[in-house]
Chain A
């Protein structure tokens, strides 16, 4: 379990994270979603004691990371798969990590096997593909068999096969009862990986809900309407929801009013409808919609 309370981080004038509070529960994959620059990596660094919060606290199972003795037994974190000396072999990399936390050498071979790197264990890590580097990073997080795992954008730049592997791996970890916290800037990715979501924009919390709920809320009713009396309809609908012009043809796009309500409204006022079609917006659009404000604001910095 991870609990953040009023977490804030300023880098000079940049407010990277602002009064962020959330909890991450065990036994589930929790997605940490936000556009680039939203403050996900900064938050993860604070969780792990690498960066000092400007204010606020974050606890892992009730403890500050900095107070953990041999933390790899409790927390495994992969913030950047590139944090490996390129001339060191995969095995040597895991060996020094294991040794630092009193983890026996045999465990190094076990985790290499778990992520399928046994065959290349003696090769220098600098020659690894991104997918292999990610696997090596994940092997490192598993060394101490920890209950809490953090991954920062683990699928960035991976091929579909690699993405699928990581996704399944996370589900397995969560099914074993562990706390899995994984960040991404893609809602479509999170929709397939995470059960819960913590959504941030511009360093602030936007939502903490289940992924399903978030997607339902995000993709609020959007209906496309065509009619010969478009002007009259626009006026009427504006009283009930948000109305915008369709970009592609002479039609209205209505947000926040159900299709049936629009139909009834039109009937009451004797307006002919040529089309009345609920739109299933893409997840990504819905997400953009929700975080738009924070992103726009950000662009002005």
Chain B
């Protein structure tokens, strides 16, 4: 418990987490608001309200990576390891704090986007959260942000440099996952197991029937059910994080 407090103090006594959280909120909700305000041919579906959640996800992952890479940059990670020599417990505490925060931001993004859509869309008859699937589309954003934050934290701890960690995360999520789809024959099979692709199935997958014509929504690929997809994404995040713990424990600080 004390280590959770420590990581909380560390995170909130610097500025970058605040900027990242504000950016994630305003960028995502703002974009959704623009979409909703211009959605005037048909009733807006719940999926439309969370369509832009990935923008906030990337920002939150940058925040998570920064939470550990700035510690390496300024040497405070060494001060941390001097204070808590087992190394693993402060990193776990950091992961818990960052994941909780990312989850909160994700919920704020999900429900904030939904509320903005409700207010701004011409026809919000389809926006009411009536089924479990509706709730998953919106509340699921927090879970994806939390898992993504743990993933980025692991990458940050492995790479130790801000530029390196942020590029890896963003290039992977934004470029690599789409590019693998272009590989002949096997590309599609690889792509549907890529973590961010799978994670988006958790948000967008299996929507209830709405005013939206079939196939008009965001592309959804993958073999797993929506919740299975989340499990897959969370497992990958956790695996990367655990690998980073093992590496951090072994190597010279």
Contacts and interface: CB of A to CB of B under 8 A. Distances in A.
Interface stretch (A21-29, A44-52, A183-191): A44-52
A71 B85 contact: yes
B161 to A, nearest CB: 16
Interface in A7-65: 45, 48-52, 65
A83 B72 CA distance: 9
Contacts of A86: 74
A2 interface: no
A48 B252 CA distance: 11
Given A45-B252, A50-B78, A88-B14, A96 B9 contact: yes
Contact of A96 (B13, B15, B75, B81): B13
Interface stretch (A72-80, A192-200, A244-252, A263-271): A72-80
B243 interface: no
Q: How large is the interface on B (under 10, 10 to 19, 20 to 34, 35 or more residues)?
A: 20 to 34
A100 B90 contact: yes
Nearest to A72: B83
B247 interface: no
Contact of B2 (A49, A84, A89, A102): A102
B9 A92 contact: yes
B83 A100 contact: yes
Given A51-B252, A88-B14, A100 B78 contact: no
Given A51-B252, A99-B9, A85 B81 contact: no
B189 interface: no
A52 B250 CA distance: 8
B86 interface: yes
A97 interface: yes
Contact of A84 (B6, B74, B81): B74
B74 A140 contact: no
Given A66-B85, A71-B85, A100 B3 contact: yes
Residue among B75, B78, B83, B84 with the highest chain A CB neighbour number at 10 A: B83
Nearest to B80: A100
A100 B85 CA distance: 11
Question: Majority SS of interface residues in chain B?
Answer: helix
Contact of B15 (A82, A87, A99, A101): A87
Given A96-B6, A96-B10, A83 B83 contact: no
B83 A80 contact: no
Q: How large is the interface on A (under 10, 10 to 19, 20 to 34, 35 or more residues)?
A: 20 to 34
Contacts of A65: 85
Residue among A49, A67, A72, A85 with the highest chain B CB neighbour number at 10 A: A85
B16 to A, nearest CB: 8
Nearest to B74: A85
A95 interface: yes
A51 B253 contact: yes
B6 A85 contact: no
Given A85-B14, A92-B9, A99-B6, A49 B80 contact: no
Nearest to A81: B75
A129 B252 CA distance: 29
A71 B70 contact: no
Contacts of A82: 74-75
Given A89-B13, A92-B13, A96-B13, A68 B85 contact: yes
A49 B74 contact: no
Contacts of A48: 82
B76 interface: yes
B9 A49 contact: no
A99 B70 CA distance: 20
Interface of A: 45, 48-52, 65-68, 71-72, 77, 79-80, 82-89, 92, 95-97, 99-102, 140
Interface of B: 2-3, 5-6, 9-10, 13-15, 70, 74-76, 78-86, 90, 250, 252-253
16 contacts: A45-B252, A49-B82, A52-B252, A66-B86, A79-B78, A83-B74, A83-B75, A83-B79, A84-B74, A85-B76, A87-B14, A88-B13, A92-B9, A96-B13, A99-B9, A100-B6
The 7 closest A-B pairs by CB, nearest first: A83-B75, A92-B13, A50-B253, A100-B83, A51-B252, A96-B9, A100-B6
Given A87-B13, A101-B83, 19 more contacts: A49-B81, A49-B85, A50-B253, A52-B250, A67-B85, A71-B82, A71-B83, A77-B82, A83-B78, A84-B75, A84-B79, A86-B74, A87-B15, A88-B13, A96-B10, A100-B3, A100-B80, A100-B84, A101-B84
